[in-house]
Amino acid sequence: MTERSEYKELSWQGLWKNNPGLVQLLGLCPLLAVTTTLTNAIGLGLATLLVLVCSNATISAIRQWVPKEVRIPIFVLIIAAFVTCVQLLMNAFTFGLYQSLGIFLPLIVTNCAIIGRAEAYASKNPVKPASFDGLMMGVGFALVLMTLGAIREILGQGTLFDGAELLLGEWASILRIEIFTSDTSFLLAILPPGAFIAMGFLIAAKNAIDSSIAAKQPKAEAKTIERVRVNFEG
């Protein structure tokens, strides 16, 4: 496999085929808990992405010196170090969002998506592809977070980018979009049951798209074979 095809496959795996949120169903606790708004989803997505890339790169760099018997505790220690760095940065520069995410920020340490990639890929591959794998898995996870957060915020509050100033500063308050107004909030979308329902619809949509693509492939292959046969006979 060439380097270009390897990176293409890593991108496809992380963003769609083996997406941590939609396929592996890893990290569902923060995924469902903090996605009440798009801003919260972006904040947690960026934090998880940073930890994934840094931990994958570090674990890949030291993989030859890590004894197999204690590799998991060492991986968790490395992940915890980067989570602490992210916590300190968010505490310093985005304190409002830091408070909003609460306990789910330090819980990134126990996110199975991060530990899983460290064990399954980073510990067995060089630094460059391991970092890229972390990037694609992180982007895939962040996209699911953002999609879920946008759906729940629109249905629950009728807004988009509410609280953007918590992430980007006071100027970002102008980014808030009011899609519709309502005297009462749609509590089902805001509460955890709404998150489960919305997540179920996202998974169903992905499965439907995959099924549609799989159904079209035999037809496309048949057309290609027929075209080659006609050209050969001609």
Cβ–Cβ under 8 Å, residues 44 and 100:
no
**pLDDT tens sequence across 4-29:** 888 899 999 999 999 998 888 888 88
Q: Cα-Cα-Cα-Cα dihedral of 78, 81, 82, 87, to 10°?
A: 150
pLDDT for residue 161: 92
**pLDDT tens sequence across 70-88:** 999 999 999 999 999 999 9
**pLDDT tens sequence across 194-218:** 899 999 999 999 999 999 888 887 7
In the chain, what are the domain boundaries? 3-233
DSSP annotation of 21 = T
**pLDDT tens sequence across 43-65:** 999 999 999 999 999 999 999 99
pLDDT for residue 229: 53
The residue to which tokens 């505490």 are assigned:
91
Q: Is the pTM of this model over 0.75?
A: yes
pLDDT for residue 221: 58
| Lowest-pLDDT range of 166-170, 191-195, 219-223, 226-230 | 226-230
Cβ–Cβ under 8 Å, residues 19 and 140:
yes
**pLDDT tens sequence across 91-113:** 999 999 999 898 889 989 888 88
Residue 131 has pLDDT above 90, yes or no: yes
Cβ–Cβ under 8 Å, residues 20 and 48:
no
